[in-house]
């Protein structure tokens, strides 16, 4: 298990975090939305010994859209991010597959009219997944050509895809694609994280570690026990906290070290 952190989006604070967390965290996940501004800082972090992963942009992107122009524009942005990640020296890019233009999610068994809504959503969802599969297959080939690993993340909201272990497994059809398990998103979606681990097997390459109340994406510090299943596995684990204070990452590392999940810190500036 290689441990990483999510940095702030301004270069000076990015580097403050990098210096303070050195010899505890091994990689930094660069946000695609700030990649241009952070390019030089990311190179300085690499010179300190950090590896880089890259989170592709996702706002307003729909790689499974039914509208060809929107779908192609979304894929174009994601291709740009793959190329930018390769130029930056990242070894892995994580992406989202988007969401459906749908708002009605009644529980089963209410009435025939409610069931009709559920059936319509299921049809739209299947079609979106199929189009997204085609687009991600193209992106996975490009990533491979660029020397990048590409991971697909599970998402929390009912309209987002993929949301369940079964939907993630649908993308196993893409040979070059690997997967990111977001523990907080799984909890919000009412899914057992270990079900994702079981279905994805060795294709699970990346983990986003944070906690929440089951309703809101709070990005609280993770419980060390939530990461025990990944200790000793060849995956990267991103502790994904908002940019409040680097001391939170030190506290998380300390708790992980106290339970034997990571080694005690070796020096550093923190």
For residue 123, CA distances in Å to 102, 120, 225 come to 12, 5, 38
Residue 264 pLDDT: 75
How many whole angstroms separate alpha carbon 64 and alpha carbon 58? 13
The contacts of residue 19 (CB under 8 Å, 6+ apart) are 48, 268, 269, 270
Instruction: Quick: pLDDT tens for 15-42.
Output: 999 999 999 999 999 999 999 999 999 9
How many whole angstroms separate alpha carbon 4 and alpha carbon 80? 24
- Tell me the average pLDDT of the chain: 96
How many whole angstroms separate alpha carbon 125 and alpha carbon 183? 23
Region 65-82: mean pLDDT is 98
Choosing among 3.20.20.150, 3.30.70.520, 3.30.365.10, 3.90.1170.50, the CATH entry for 2-238 is: 3.20.20.150
Count CB-CB contacts under 10 A for residue 58. 22
Strand partners of residue 55: 31, 94
Between helices 112-145 and 68-88, what is the axis angle to 10°? 40
Residue 266 pLDDT: 53
Residue 208 pLDDT: 99
- DSSP letters, 73-107, are HHHHHHHHHHHHHHHHT-SEEEE---B-S----PP
Instruction: Quick: pLDDT tens for 179-207.
Output: 999 999 999 999 999 999 999 999 999 99
* Sequence spans of domains, the chain: 2-238
Instruction: Quick: pLDDT tens for 106-130.
Output: 899 999 999 999 999 999 999 999 9
Residue 174 pLDDT: 98
Q: How would residue 69 be classed by pLDDT, with cut points 50, 70 and 90?
A: very high
State CA 187 to chain mean position distance: 14
Region 143-149: mean pLDDT is 99
For residue 43, CA distances in Å to 28, 147, 176 come to 11, 18, 27
């Amino acid at each position: 298990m290689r441990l990483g952190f999510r940095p702030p989006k301004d270069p000076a604070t990015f580097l403050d975090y990098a210096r303070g967390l050195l010899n505890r965290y091994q990689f930094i996940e660069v946000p695609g939305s700030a990649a241009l501004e952070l390019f030089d800082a990311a190179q300085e972090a690499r010179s300190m010994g950090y590896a880089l992963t890259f989170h592709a942009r996702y706002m307003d992107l729909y790689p499974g859209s039914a509208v060809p122009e929107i779908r192609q524009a979304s894929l174009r942005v994601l291709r740009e991010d793959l190329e930018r990640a390769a130029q930056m020296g990242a070894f892995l890019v994580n992406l989202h597959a988007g969401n459906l233009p749908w708002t009605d999610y009644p529980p089963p068994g209410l009435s025939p009219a409610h069931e009709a809504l559920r059936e319509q959503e299921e049809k739209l969802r299947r079609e979106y997944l199929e189009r997204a599969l085609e687009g991600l297959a193209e992106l996975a080939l490009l990533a491979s050509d660029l020397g990048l690993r590409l991971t697909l993340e599970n998402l929390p909201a009912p309209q987002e895809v993929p949301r369940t272990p079964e939907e993630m497994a649908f993308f196993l059809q893409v040979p070059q694609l690997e997967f990111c398990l977001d523990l907080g998103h799984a909890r919000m979606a009412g899914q057992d994280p270990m079900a994702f681990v079981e279905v994805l097997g060795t294709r699970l390459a990346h983990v986003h570690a944070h906690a929440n109340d089951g309703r809101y994406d709070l990005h609280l510090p993770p419980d060390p026990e939530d990461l025990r299943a990944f200790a000793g596995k060849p995956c990267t684990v991103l502790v994904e906290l908002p940019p409040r204070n680097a001391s939170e990452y030190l506290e998380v590392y300390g708790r992980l070290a106290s339970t034997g999940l990571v080694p005690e810190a070796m020096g550093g500036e923190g």
